[in-house]
A and B are shown apart, each in its own frame.
Chain A
Amino acid sequence: MVESTIHATQAIVTLDVPIQGIVWGSIITVNMWAKSIGTGVVFLAAFLWFRHSKDDMPNLRWIMPIIAFLALNVFLFFTLIDLHQPYRMIHIFTHPHWTSSITVGAWLASTFLGLVSVLMVIGVADAFPSLGGKKCKVTAAARNNSAVYEKIMPFMVFLAIPVTTYTAIIMAQASARELWQAPTEVMQMMWAALMAGSAALIFVSGSWSKEARKDLALVLTIAVFFSFMMYMSEYFFSFKSSEAEAILEFVHSGGAYNVEFWFGMTVGFIIPFFLGMSYMKSENMTLLRFAALAALVGLFFVKDVWLKIPQMLPLS
């Protein structure tokens, strides 16, 4: 009975419109996931070139920008289709509002994609000398300016940092959602980029030296470990905000998001951690590829849950 089950201090909503539901859904998850790959491979390429000679990773110079180009296009495509007025995307460039991370991010990501395209053209033209024949002006210009690649690359690494993290600032600016806090989200985005970048490069590292592959495995293992620790800290110990606590209580109590979260955590973080560690002892490439695949799959599910759950909380 109502009178015996409801505490006197508790109030019950008896008439209100339903909450709006999931506004930013899986389209945004794909957006974030693809961007992690697109910027992550740039970080990893820079790290590997710093640690090893280019001969240790013979295909990295051309395949890295191709992966980044494809991933960034997926990211921008999903950004576009999430808009309710997609043709007005141009307003971000014609009427920019610079306090918005969405605006800053769109400009940075577009610049980044432009530079990745330059790297891709030069990298591919250099790697395949017969491509385009003698008459192709694009490949000829690319080969003539081959040194531009190495000049752009350091700038790309620095640009990749805000491109990776600006989504975290968007989430921080979404001040209605207490679960998304700037410091943790920024670091989660960085770890996600290192996870996704190393995982993506593992698939194309068949011809690389063992040392270079071990470095990939090491980065993947470290990234999943620290990312896992951050998620766990947030998941169990978000006591300081009553809203974040209420959101997480909703997931703790079970249901579809609880299952999705722990599935993602197991597949994307726990399994790749142990497989990555095993690789460093066994050097079994199949294990490493499986770890990379699992990390990419799990990362998607965890990001999806983390994106959606704060939207389940009524704001009024």
Chain B
Amino acid sequence: MKLGFLVDLNLCMGCKGCEIACKVENEVPLSTWRLRVKYIDLGTFPDTRRSFTPLRCNHCESAPCERICPVSALHYLENGIVNIDSDRCIGCAGCMMACPYGAIYMDPETNTADKCTYCAHRIESGMMPACVVACPVEANIFGDLEDDHSNISLYIMEHKGAVQVRKPEKHTSPTHFYVGGGNQTLNPLAHQRIEGYNLFNNITHLDHVGDKNHGILDRFLAPFVGHEKPDNTSFMNSAAATESHEEEGGH
């Protein structure tokens, strides 16, 4: 069995239902994402359109994160999922540096690396990933790539010429596919990030990796004295102390 994902970008309407479902299902902390939907504006006024691209771990068959992990915290399951064992993770961030898709984050609550696991715990119980269930237009197609009759295999065969992966030049062999994507949506160098053209221009950038309230000394002391768990209030407080970017010219 080799599980895979396919997103039909022609169907995706950017509702972010998958993003929210993922957050809730996996209790993903504030300021981090296992799955997120990126909005890109294309064209010149008045001929413009907005494209939505859900981004998650690609569960590569040749995963750089699995290769660089010094303690096998990132490992393959028999169904092809690249899983992560947060009890073993040492927090070296090697995987974050290796992943070409920026899909791995440092969990601010556990101070270990984390990422999308295709909801491995749900699959083990015979359920579909939370994002698949939540999608109102069935743009997320999930299944066994080795089964010729699975939904995903049939979809790939039907859209043969239009199936794409992100950054094929990296030779990671992703098991996450897109239909209806283009260079502008899948190649990060083909679009610009311009200050002031964000949908929400008052965005707070948290300038930390992992738990901001868990400094170097705290990392050593935490097993003995513990440390205050970050909650919404602590993030709101840190947001208030962080520079925000407010520009004219937005939407």
Contacts and interface: CB of A to CB of B under 8 A. Distances in A.
Interface string A166-177: 000010011111
Contact of B89 (A18, A88, A99, A101): A88
Given A11-B192, A102-B68, A316-B188, A87 B223 contact: yes
Given A2-B197, A3-B45, A85-B91, A11 B70 contact: no
Nearest to B203: A18
A236 interface: no
B185 A11 contact: yes
B74 to A, nearest CB: 9
Contacts, number: 188
Nearest to A315: B102
Nearest to A3: B45
Given A11-B190, A83-B91, A175-B170, A19 B102 contact: yes
Interface string A85-104: 11111011001110111110
A89 B90 contact: yes
A175 B100 contact: yes
A84 B104 CA distance: 15
Nearest to A84: B91
Contacts of A314: 102, 188, 193
B64 A173 contact: yes
B40 A14 contact: yes
B98 A173 contact: yes
A12 B192 contact: yes
A215 interface: no
Contacts of B126: none
Interface residues of B, number: 71
Interface string B63-98: 010011111100000000000000011111110111
A21 interface: yes
Given A14-B198, A102-B94, A176 B68 contact: no
A88 B69 CA distance: 13
B166 to A, nearest CB: 8
Given A14-B39, A174-B68, A84 B94 contact: no
A173 B41 CA distance: 33
Interface in A77-125: 81-89, 91-92, 95-97, 99-103, 106
B160 interface: no
Given A12-B192, A13-B39, A102-B92, A84 B45 contact: no
A55 interface: no
Nearest to B111: A84
A211 B197 CA distance: 64
Given A88-B89, A173-B98, A106 B188 contact: no
B168 interface: no
Contacts of A315: 99-102, 188
A14 B251 contact: yes
A147 interface: no
Interface stretch (B117-125, B146-154, B205-213): B205-213
A12 B70 contact: no
A14 B190 contact: no
Contacts of B219: 81, 83-86
A242 interface: yes
Contacts of B192: 10-13
A19 B32 CA distance: 11
B210 A84 contact: yes
A256 interface: no
22 contacts: A7-B44, A8-B44, A11-B190, A11-B191, A12-B193, A13-B40, A18-B206, A23-B106, A81-B219, A82-B92, A84-B106, A85-B91, A85-B219, A92-B71, A92-B90, A95-B71, A102-B92, A173-B94, A174-B64, A174-B68, A175-B172, A242-B189
Interface of A: 2-3, 6-24, 81-89, 91-92, 95-97, 99-103, 106, 170, 173-177, 242-243, 246, 311, 313-316
Given A84-B90, A102-B92, 7 more contacts: A2-B249, A12-B191, A15-B37, A23-B96, A92-B90, A173-B67, A176-B101
Interface of B: 33, 36-47, 50-51, 55, 64, 67-72, 88-94, 96-102, 105-106, 111-112, 166, 170, 172, 184-185, 188-194, 197-200, 203, 205-210, 214, 216, 219-220, 223, 249, 251
The 8 A-B residue pairs with the shortest CB-CB distance in the complex, in nearest-first order: A84-B91, A315-B102, A3-B45, A15-B39, A11-B191, A102-B70, A174-B97, A11-B184
